[in-house]
Amino acid sequence: MFGSLAPYQPAVCRELSDAIHNGTLGQANLFAGPPYSLRMTMALELARVLSCAKGGEDGCNCPSCASFSDLSMDNVVIISQRDHRSIIETSISLFEKNRTAFSRAFLTRNIRTCLLAYHGALLATAEKAQNAAYGAAGKVDDLLRDLSQEGQDLTAKTASEYAKALREGMKTLYDAEKKDTSLSIAQTRALDAWSRETTVGGQKRFVIIEDVEDANVGARNSLLKILEEPPQGVYFTLVSSHAERIMRTILSRVRKFTFAPLSTEAVNQLLQPCFLPSPVTDFESFFLAFSGVDTTELGQMAKSVATSVLSGRMLPQKTFDDMLQRLTLPSQITYFLERLLECFEDAFLAGSLPMERARDLERTVSRMQGEAALFNQNGKLLLENLYLHLLEV
């Protein structure tokens, strides 16, 4: 149970295993920790273990576990704010290059993690503009099913054809994707209705919600009502990078599992089957770089902004506008802000930034990120407002 993840998150695996064996695992759990610490992977593995006909043993090939191996099951819904583009584009590139069983499985799981947000349980909540996305999600899923029927020895031409088709299908999803993908009241009501439907053979159901702290108050209150008395056989897993921003009433209804950040060694061990030309520092940089994002440039931009803030001298308007033109994807903005905070931390450690101001700068970045997510601000507006506020700290 949890054998594949135990080397990387031993404390969480041990705690989950003990809770399952002792019968103390609740129906509402919180997986808290930094991004790329295997929280979503663990949430899906927990669903597999609880669905397994053989007690969740490692390597099980029962029908349920077989469906979880490629995420083709229908008893899991994911609501997430993550930017899937860099992860999926990296997965397609690795598949096209390596054509190995691992790269195929890596591709399939990463794409289907995105597709689980287009579960039929949520179709009624989709706005008109999203109907095309549900259609595209179905076509991409069909492509993955076709790919699963292919033999192990794919030719370079066949792999390229699949890669091209998947990119086209995912482009439709990227274009149709809403800026606000946080939990809505309509979604919580749809999830409540779905979770209370009668299942065949008492099949367990799972709802995974990422970044619930960024949902609006109405959605959070609606979720709280479900968590107070979840339907039998339905499990809710909240995944959060900022658990301190979650409503206390929701925190009181969940059991918290804390994930530690992965070491560089752990990241490279997990990516070993990718046959990378050189080691990587972390998952975030890996996905951004392999999807065509210049992480070095993002770091340099963060350094320029940090220097401007710390010196109190505004950047030339054209320089700042050029930066905004380059920061278009959510994953780029997140990476940029992380590097900006690192610059402030470096200045503090070097003795050039007082502790009180360093804390104020960090709080300002965190607060405005949260507000931007809550009020659906686009990236440009967030960065413009944040820069002006940081200059005043």
381 falls within a domain:
yes
206-256 confidence digits (pLDDT tens)? 999 998 888 888 899 999 999 999 999 999 999 999 898 899 999 999 999
56-76 confidence digits (pLDDT tens)? 999 999 999 999 999 999 999
Q: Are residues 197 and 302 in the same domain?
A: no
Q: For the chain, how many structural domains are there in total?
A: 2
151-161 confidence digits (pLDDT tens)? 989 999 999 99
Q: Are residues 300 and 222 in the same domain?
A: no
Burial zone of 213 (CB within 10 Å; 0-12 exposed, 13-18 middle, 19+ buried): buried
* CA 305 – CA 335 distance, rounded (Å): 14
287-300 confidence digits (pLDDT tens)? 988 888 888 999 99
Q: pLDDT value at position 126?
A: 66
Q: Are residues 298 and 270 in the same domain?
A: no
* Distance separating the N- and C-terminal Cα atoms of the chain: 49
Q: Are residues 267 and 297 in the same domain?
A: no
> How do 28-32 and 205-210 pair as beta strands?
unpaired
Domain that holds residue 169: 10-274
pTM of the predicted protein model: 0.85
Residue where the block lists tokens 């990516």: 271
Residue where the block lists tokens 């031409």: 157
Q: Using 50, 70 and 90 to split pLDDT, how confident is the model at 87? A: very high
- Residue 188 near residue 216 (C-beta atoms within 8 A): no
Last residue within a domain, chosen from 274, 307, 330 = 274
Residue 181 has pLDDT above 60, yes or no: no
Q: Are residues 130 and 246 in the same domain?
A: yes
287 falls within a domain:
no
Contacts of 331 (CB under 8 A, 6+ apart): 83, 85, 86, 284, 287, 288, 293
H or E element, residue 221:
helix 217-228
32 falls within a domain:
yes
